Chains A and B, each alone.
Chain A
Amino acid sequence: DGGITQSPKYLFRKEGQNVTLSCEQNLNHDAMYWYRQDPGQGLRLIYYSQIVNDFQKGDIAEGYSVSREKKESFPLTVTSAQKNPTAFYLCASRRDSGRQETQYFGPGTRLLVL
């Protein structure tokens, strides 16, 4: 069954701790994305990757880092430098880099600060 999986569903972060959110897709998509969702603000782009071993900053990359070592995986690390990490994080992928291509979304990870 093809799709995008995100884990964990809920994640708790302590002060000063780095945490990593997992995103895996078996759609054979080239491009992958991370968005942050806050109430009343829609989705904002954190990082995106068009091919393996390459990624670019989005609009709100500060305090986050990513890697793209495999085509199917695009993990997001929320570092201690991100002072307000509480949000709903959504991963997405698309077949290729064309503007007309649809982005497909995973079920999301909710990050909470203890």
Chain B
Amino acid sequence: AQSVTQPDIHITVSEGASLELRCNYSYGATPYLFWYVQSPGQGLQLLLKYFSGDTLVQGIKGFEAEFKRSQSSFNLRKPSVHWSDAAEYFCAVGAVYNKLIFGAGTRLAVHP
């Protein structure tokens, strides 16, 4: 079955610390992978996406993600977190019939 798992429901980091949000997917064909960010009460904004080629992709706001086929993972990273990064982060895989399958999300809190 096609699915996306984000193992961490909540993560808290200190401002300036590094961040890694985990995402594992289950999909039979070549996965098209996305990370979105959502501020409270708002829509989703695309951070980055992976379709093919270089397995390390750069996104907006200083985020990057690495696709590891052997681990079925697409983890999101940022070397130094800012207070404005506090939000909910969603990993998604593009599936057949043009659907996006989302993980349950990881809520990030940033301590000053």
A102: chain B residues at CB < 8 Å are 34, 46, 49
Q: Is A16 an interface residue (CB 8 A)?
A: no
Partner of B98, one of A43, A50, A90, A104: A50
Closest to A48 in B: B98
List residues of A (18-51) whose CB comes within 8 Å of B's CBs: 31, 33, 40-45, 48, 50
Q: Is A64 an interface residue (CB 8 A)?
A: no
A105: chain B residues at CB < 8 Å are 36, 43-45
Partner of B104, one of A42, A97, A110: A42
How many chain-B residues does the 8 Å CB contact rule pick out?
A: 25
Partner of B42, one of A31, A44, A94, A107: A107
Q: Is A63 an interface residue (CB 8 A)?
A: no
Are B43 and A108 in touch, CB under 8 angstroms?
Answer: yes
Closest to B102 in A: A42
Are B9 and A100 in touch, CB under 8 angstroms?
Answer: no
Q: Chain A interface mostly helix, strand, loop or mixed?
A: strand
State the CA gap A100–B97 with chains docked (Å): 12
List residues of A (76-114) whose CB comes within 8 Å of B's CBs: 88, 90, 92, 94, 97-100, 102-108, 110
A48-B99, A58-B99 are contacts. A41–B44 as well, Cβ < 8 Å? no
Q: Is A56 an interface residue (CB 8 A)?
A: yes
B83: chain A residues at CB < 8 Å are none
Most central of A6, A41, A100 by chain B CB within 10 Å: A100
Shortest Cβ distance from residue B40 to the other chain A in the assembled complex, whole angstroms: 10
A58-B99, A106-B43, A110-B41 are contacts. A100–B104 as well, Cβ < 8 Å? no
State the CA gap A88–B90 with chains docked (Å): 15
Instruction: Give the 6 A-B CB pairs with smallest separation, nearest first.
Output: A42-B102, A105-B43, A105-B44, A43-B102, A99-B94, A42-B104
